[in-house]
Chains A and B, each alone.
Chain A
């Protein structure tokens, strides 16, 4: 039985009178790939932010590898070996691709070791041609890829990705899918996603959010064919 790497107990987040995350109980095993879906405002992103420390939940607890990390700062959570990618590209625009990835590697390794690891990842992600280019000059897809490199270079055992495929071309999405599959060899991956095409191509187990709470949690095929899910989500989007 694989170890549970991420777990939430009755996680609740309220903004004023609005309950954005409502009593969410969530469990993720090591090396599992899980997609979180749901219509706009379903509470996926709020849940994501509570787990990554960007928000402190009003009630409930977050556990990572059994440790209570509720209310921790993002940098403390990241220091455990958790890789995080936020919804909007969060990169250092004035710095080169190599410098961006090196900075991530340097957090856990000495200078020379970090350089080696950064070079490796750049090769793996086929970023070699643009390694010295500042990120500000790159296309959206390339920037997303660099951010995945930033996440991957730190050798995380848990990866949290918020809409990694947003705004990418089909070719970029394919490459992204490969990278994510490689990540699952060593890490559990949570993906918050909107793009159903992408989810079909990558997901096994899917958690559906609706009005802040978990509506359903099952294999992607069963979720897609569930009439209730179609009603709240697919029906509106299709």
Chain B
């Protein structure tokens, strides 16, 4: 094996503690918070795509579902703990149903892409059309394209009046990301994770070994959705409003771009890609010379053409080449396979 599990956890904790401490000196915590949330969203797709070989064109659906679940539940319940839990569960259950339908139907590749994309569109169109007063869930009006504002934001569990916002909220999100990251690390080291990678590499073989490939892909898909849902709930708290744009194709596209740029088949890549590109977009938003959609698009094209492995594997490859620690990991090949199912 590579590093031992304890080493891995220790390094993660030290590095993330340093980052959590240093980053606010460079970027405002308000911006940092959303970068962290995007990082978590990137990780959710990085997990199922990079390690499970499931290319989902609709990861934004689970993100939006998490955000809406949180907002609607928070309005009805008036505190934040149960809504947070629901925001993780609802997307996970939804993904489990959708995944079971797709994977037991043995859909792969493009067909998976079409269905996830279509489901995202259905949610988007449906939520967008619920502007009328007749669309309510409990006390919450879904609000169509106006979204849902004015819900209860995060509070200390048990005390609905003790809101967590501003700098403390930044710490909450950062710690949440570290926890999710460690859970993903643990998952990938566990038998479940190793079997998932086996399935990514060769579904037929894993089936012939006796593994129920469809069931395992469904579970992994649901785990990815749960993480995306958590990110959605955190995003809802950060923005204090949820709108149908969370479900948009543009949002889904961005998640995929983060993974490509950061590097598939790594845990860190999608997080780095997400935070990096979101920050870049934020910086570009402050100038009007060049349209920032154009730049994001250009970045995607250039990466697919010239650096299809993504930043993190490329940099760590460079690092290893320089310092000569020849760990034999055919990352490029692993990537290629990951992407092509």
Contacts and interface: CB of A to CB of B under 8 A. Distances in A.
| Chain A CB within 10 Å, residue with most, of B201, B212, B213, B337 | B201
Given A103-B195, A106-B195, A111-B191, A93 B201 contact: yes
A12 interface: no
Interface stretch (A28-36, A73-81, A169-177): A73-81
A138 interface: no
Contacts of B333: 93-94, 134, 136
Interface residues of A, number: 31
A99 interface: yes
B202 A132 contact: no
Nearest to A160: B208
Interface in B192-228: 194-195, 197-198, 201-202, 204-213
B209 A95 contact: no
B330 A154 contact: no
Contacts of B213: 75
Nearest to B197: A95
A86 B211 contact: no
A150 B210 CA distance: 11
A84 interface: yes
A94 B212 contact: no
B2 to A, nearest CB: 11
A52 interface: yes
A137 interface: yes
Contacts of A132: 328
Contacts of B207: 73-75, 78
A90 interface: yes
B204 A78 contact: no
Given A78-B207, A90-B202, A150-B205, A103 B330 contact: no
Nearest to B336: A94
B334 interface: yes
A94 B208 contact: no
Nearest to A81: B210
Interface in B50-88: none
Interface in A4-18: none
A106 to B, nearest CB: 6
Interface string A139-155: 00000000000100010
Given A99-B194, A111-B191, A134-B330, A90 B205 contact: yes
The 3 A-B pairs with the shortest beta carbon distances in the complex, nearest first, are A78-B210, A92-B201, A79-B210
Interface of A: 52, 73-75, 78-79, 84-86, 90-95, 99-100, 102-104, 106-108, 111, 132-134, 136-137, 150, 154
17 contacts: A74-B204, A74-B208, A75-B211, A75-B212, A78-B207, A78-B209, A90-B208, A92-B197, A93-B201, A94-B333, A94-B337, A95-B197, A99-B194, A103-B209, A134-B328, A137-B330, A154-B210
Given A134-B333, A137-B330, 12 more contacts: A75-B207, A85-B208, A90-B202, A95-B201, A99-B198, A102-B194, A106-B194, A106-B195, A107-B209, A107-B211, A108-B210, A136-B333
